[in-house]
Amino acid sequence: MTTEHKLEPAVSTEYMFEWHPCAQLFKLHSDRTQYTVIVLNQPIDKAYRNTALTLWKNGFYHIAADGGANSVYEFASETENHQLTSDIKIIVGDLDSIRPNVRAHFQNQTQCPETKIIHDDSVDSTDFGKAVSVARETPDLQNKDIVVFGGLGGRVDQALSILHQLHLFQSDPQYREGRMYLYSGEGLTFLLKAGVHKIHVREPGMPDRFAKWVGILPVGEASVISTKGLEWDVTQWPTSFGGQVSTSNHVLPDTQVVEIKTTKDVIFTIAVKELSDKS
């Protein structure tokens, strides 16, 4: 006697995502509940001063990852925005990079009354990872999104580590733990999970915040991508390191939304324009 088993058709779930980075990040909001800011141990680019200050002011909660405290201290001094240091709520890490004078500044309760310094010497996580854990364990944060200052300049191994952790910290296929953006002055970088993404690169009533250059990088698994809104669009295009990758592509002048469909997680990066003093 044989038993027949009816094969059910495979179910494929294709997630759809909307992105509004111009409106969320680069439009000044009065409520400051847009995201958490994490600062890494790299200088904040003064050439993009206005952009950095807008991103900072939109942040609800500010964390420095060890030597990131040096970055905030220097940027505050260079731009004469001393309020920036008092915005820091947490400094966390193994504390081998923060300079003694900077640590003394943040320990001064008159200058930084709300700053807490946490020494975490665990070797199982980077200072970046420790900062992300603090952000996600803070119960009163209304928005779990994170904007990271720095991380993609300097040493190549450190930059690749940041991209690696960008994957680790967003393992949920629908970003239920929040979205993360890496801001490096010249560019904004974020992870596109498998699915269809509509990235609003221009918003009605707002000046352009992005320049034309974009890249879509399969940092991880090989993927197959399709795009709309770029100068060199592709359809069902295999992409992998060692194969072909999409770099130095261009957003078309009349494109409002860039659409990207990807079968696996990929990194999306786009060039940023500095905000004018009147923006």
| pLDDT of 12 above 80 | no
Q: What is the pLDDT of residues 165-180, one digit of tens each?
A: 999 999 999 999 999 9
- Domain annotation covers residue 123: yes
Residue 180, number of CB atoms within 10 A of its CB? 23
Q: Per the structure, how many domains does the chain have?
A: 1
Mean of all residue pLDDT scores within the chain: 91
Both structure tokens of 9: 């058709």
Over residues 195-222, the mean pLDDT reads: 95
Q: What is the pLDDT of residue 3?
A: 45
Range of the domain at 135: 16-272
Q: Which residue has the higher pLDDT, 145 or 6?
A: 145
Q: What pTM was computed for the model?
A: 0.92
Over residues 33-52, the mean pLDDT reads: 91
| pLDDT of 1 above 50 | no
- Domain annotation covers residue 4: no
- Domain annotation covers residue 44: yes
d(CA 104, CA 36): 24
| pLDDT of 86 above 90 | yes
| pLDDT of 203 above 60 | yes
> What is 44-108 written as a DSSP string?
--GGGHHHHHHHHHHEEEEEEETTHHHHHHHHHHHHT-THHHHHEEEEEE--SSS-HHHHHHHH-
Residue 16 to residues 7, 109, 133, 212, 224, Cα–Cα distance (Å): 28, 47, 27, 24, 16
Percentage with pLDDT > 90 across the chain: 76
Q: Which amino acid is at 72?
A: V
- Domain annotation covers residue 11: no
Q: What is the pLDDT of residue 32?
A: 64
* 3-class DSSP assignment, residue 117: strand
Over residues 180-203, the mean pLDDT reads: 96
- Domain annotation covers residue 266: yes
Q: What is the pLDDT of residue 277?
A: 62
CATH at 172: 3.40.50.10240
- Domain annotation covers residue 8: no
DSSP 229: S
- Domain annotation covers residue 140: yes
| pLDDT of 87 above 80 | yes
- Domain annotation covers residue 51: yes
Q: What is the pLDDT of residue 11?
A: 40
Residue 260, Cβ density class (10 Å: 0-12 exposed, 13-18 middle, ≥19 buried) = buried
Q: Where are the beta strands (DSSP E) in the chain?
A: 16-19, 35-39, 59-65, 88-93, 116-119, 146-149, 180-183, 187-192, 195-200, 210-217, 223-228, 237-239, 246-250, 257-262, 266-272
d(CA 274, CA 108): 33
